[in-house]
Amino acid sequence: MSHPSPLVVAGISKAYRGRPVLREVSFEVSPGEAVALVGPNGAGKSTLLGCITGDRVPDAGTVHVCGGDPLSDHRAAARCMGVVPEQPVLYGELSVGEMLQFAHAAREPAPPTGEADRLLELLGLVGAESLLCRELSQGMGRKLAIVLALVHRPRLVVLDEATNGLDAPSVQQLGEELLRRRADGAAVLLASHDRELVAAWCERGIRLAPGAHHTLFASTREER
């Protein structure tokens, strides 16, 4: 039985105080595909990502994550989607291990056994389980946010400047992990200002521009 596309965005428009930010943005991310979201600051990338994750309500248009609406069924979208926001949301008084326990308890169904340990080792966080989240460096906090986003093996991975603060080996490990996920059918949406990263990780993308303009490009070579 075929599954619905991990992400379908159809005619999304959004304005703030009468100023258009997004105008009829439409695209689809298929299983196994990596798509880039690029554009200067203020072009609407965060707004579009918010509409996709269900954190912002568009003025028009629809978003479907694995066939469901993230606004009307946020829990179903959360089961299908893993998100690494530009500013990771971690509870400072919880330890790394407690954050992982919280994520396990919140997931339906629970993440695969051993997946958290594998990801912690992959990103070099083994031994940090007892540290409080407020004690983590920027890079360590980013790594934990990535583990939390990937641990339930989502069909859609949304990354917003997810490599900020990461060392080069961790960036490489993350890229290889995403390739493995894509080979299993997961889709990736990457928002980044890093043109080399976009060109290395993605085949095509959406370029947003101030004034609610957007274009689709078929090859990330255009972003070099």
Report mean pLDDT in 10-residue bins for the chain, 224 residues: 85 94 96 96 94 95 95 88 93 95 79 90 95 95 96 96 93 97 97 93 94 82 52
Domain residue ranges of the chain, discontinuous segments joined by +:
7-219
Sign for the pseudo-dihedral over CA of 204, 123, 156, 91 = negative
pLDDT for the residue numbered 223: 52
Q: Which residues of 161-183 are buried (b: 16+ CB within 10 A; e: fewer)?
A: bbbbebeeebbebbeebbeebbe
pLDDT for the residue numbered 220: 59
pLDDT for the residue numbered 221: 55
d(CA 2, CA 185): 12
d(CA 65, CA 9): 9
d(CA 188, CA 203): 11
pLDDT for the residue numbered 3: 78
Fold of 7-219: Rossmann fold (3.40.50)
pLDDT for the residue numbered 54: 93
Within 13 A of 143's CA, how many CA atoms are on the CB side?
Answer: 28
pLDDT for the residue numbered 2: 65
pLDDT for the residue numbered 23: 95
pLDDT for the residue numbered 146: 97
d(CA 149, CA 139): 15
pTM value surpassing 0.75: yes
